[in-house]
Amino acid sequence: MSDLSLIYTAAGSILLLLFLVMKARLHAVVALILVSMIAGIATGMNPADIAATIQKGMGGTLGFVAVVVALGAMFGKVMETTGALDRIAQTLLSRFGNEKANWAITFTGFICALPLFFDVAVVLLIGVVFAIVRKSKESVVKMGIALLAGIATCQAFLIPAPGPILVASQLGADFGWMILIGLSASIPAMILAGPMFGSFISKIVDVPLPAHAEASQEFKDRNGTLPSFGLAFALIILPLLMIGLQTIGSRFVEAGSTVHDWLIFIGHPFTAIMVACLAACYLLGIKRGYTKDEVMNICGSALQPAGVIILVTGAGGVFKQVLVDSGVGQALGNMLAGTGLPIVILAFILAAAVRVIQGSATVAMLTACGLILPMLEPLALSGAQLAAVTVAIGGGSIVLSHVNDSGFWLANRYLGLNEKQTLQTWTVMETIIGTTGAAVAVIFSLFI
């Protein structure tokens, strides 16, 4: 099958998916798997391999997301039910006021997301958004987009966030320049897409607080007081510190050593969120007068809404895997390589094209990196110029997020949006971040 035919087929499958979920109102899980099968057949995949690709896509996505979302949901439910999130919300609102709460939550997401994967950061911090909405009566969309913009911006442009540091290391970019250009790209992108766009779009898209975010009052007030801000904040940053310890500490010890192996284990998101969950159950639950059965019931009640999020996210991974295995990404690279565009702009377009076709920002970054590397060799770019290329790839990797992106469905389910509303909010937010960051990278490339 020709490269052009592959691209047309992939684009057609995306349009079909949008029709099924937005017009035909087919459940997202069913629609994603059905279109994945159709796309596999239409792109010429061996029919015998399609089922294996579906299993690979589902398993590859859920292997990480299922554990993170399930543990994070229990952690968040304990924090919410015991009033810890309300305490954080009250403190933020008292310091910044209702008018500036969205700015506070944007910068909170931006800073906390540094050592984390996107999904982990959302799971850990979304409860703070819900608590602020309950206390301030502000818009779910305004506060939710503010948080998501902070997290997404960090994940696209800053090291040591996983995607940027992988691409920077593969391209040989200078890390000092990465920090400078990444920050220069992040700050305007985050402000435009978070507090500013969130405030604007919340006047157009208005949704009630989702049922899974409603506060539970059954046990919260038994002690007459909320937990202290210090305890609540410490529990929020505990997993961040554990993951950050692994990210920083593993650079100073020998790879493969016992200390290195323990740092990898301690700082893995599975371990970090598990420890935070157990600490919350004891310090907020057992120690404050809850019985073991009550704590168990709180954790159990968190898993039902988490299950829907997990399944939809996994189905998005299925669609992504079919498009990856069909060779669409390579076809895009072949088509764009001969355009003669400046290398920074080409890097952005390559990453954006792969992102639109297959969904995952991390895969888009790494695919664009692999496609651009052969073009960089004869150019002999400096470490600073390679940092600009890396930031441009990060920008392209998050634009135009839609139904084949797991982040789209996380925003959709957590904020209680329908598909059209998610396109109006999340998709536009991601595109603002990506294009703003890439524009900054292009400007830097002209002077370094």
The reply to whether omega before 160 is within 30° of 0 (cis) is yes
- Closest by CA position to 39, among listed 21, 24, 54: 54
Flag whether pLDDT at 429 surpasses 90: yes
The contacts found for 242-249 with CB under 8 angstroms, 24 or more apart, are 242/266, 242/267, 242/271, 242/272, 242/275, 243/115, 243/116, 243/120, 243/267, 243/268, 243/269, 243/272, 244/114, 244/115, 246/115, 247/115, 247/160, 248/160
Q: What percent of the chain has pLDDT over 90?
A: 12
pLDDT of residue 76: 75
Which residue, among 38, 32, 30, has the nearest Cα to 10 in the 3D structure? 38
Q: What is the pLDDT of residues 87-137, one digit of tens each?
A: 776 777 777 777 788 888 888 888 767 656 677 678 777 887 888 888 778
pLDDT of the residue at 335? 67
Q: Is the pLDDT of residue 342 over 70?
A: yes
> Mean pLDDT, to the nearest integer, of 277-305?
85
Which range has the worst mean pLDDT, 238-252, 256-270, 282-296?
238-252
Higher pLDDT, 272 or 86: 272
Share of the chain above pLDDT 70, in %: 82
Query: What are the b/e assignments for 287-323, b being 16+ CB within 10 Å?
Result: ebebeeebbeebbebbeebbeebbbbbbbbbbbbbbb
Of 57, 169, 74, 72, the closest CA to residue 116 belongs to 72
Q: Which residues contact 407 (CB under 8 A, 6 or more apart)?
A: 118, 119, 152, 361, 401, 426, 430
Whether the pLDDT of residue 328 is over 70: the answer is: no
**Which pLDDT band holds residue 187 (cuts at 50, 70, 90)?**
very high
Find, among 372, 357, 290, the residue nearest to 323 by Cα. 357
Q: Tell me the per-residue pLDDT of 193-220, one tens digit each, with 9 for 90 and over.
A: 999 999 899 899 888 877 766 655 444 4
Q: Rounded mean pLDDT of the chain?
A: 79
Report phi then psi at 264, rounded to 5: -60, -40
* pLDDT > 60? residue 221: no
Q: What is the pLDDT of residues 368-396, one digit of tens each?
A: 776 677 677 667 777 788 888 889 998 99
Most confident of 122-131, 170-179, 268-277: 268-277
Q: What is the pLDDT of residue 218?
A: 46
* Span of 43-57, 356-370, 424-438 with lowest mean pLDDT: 356-370
95 class by beta-carbon count within 10 Å (0-12 exposed, 13-18 middle, 19+ buried): exposed
Tell me which of 278 and 13 has the higher pLDDT.
278
User: What is the predicted pLDDT for the residue at 1?
Assistant: 64
pTM for the whole structure: 0.67
Q: Please write the tens of the pLDDT for every residue from 62-78.
A: 776 677 778 877 887 78
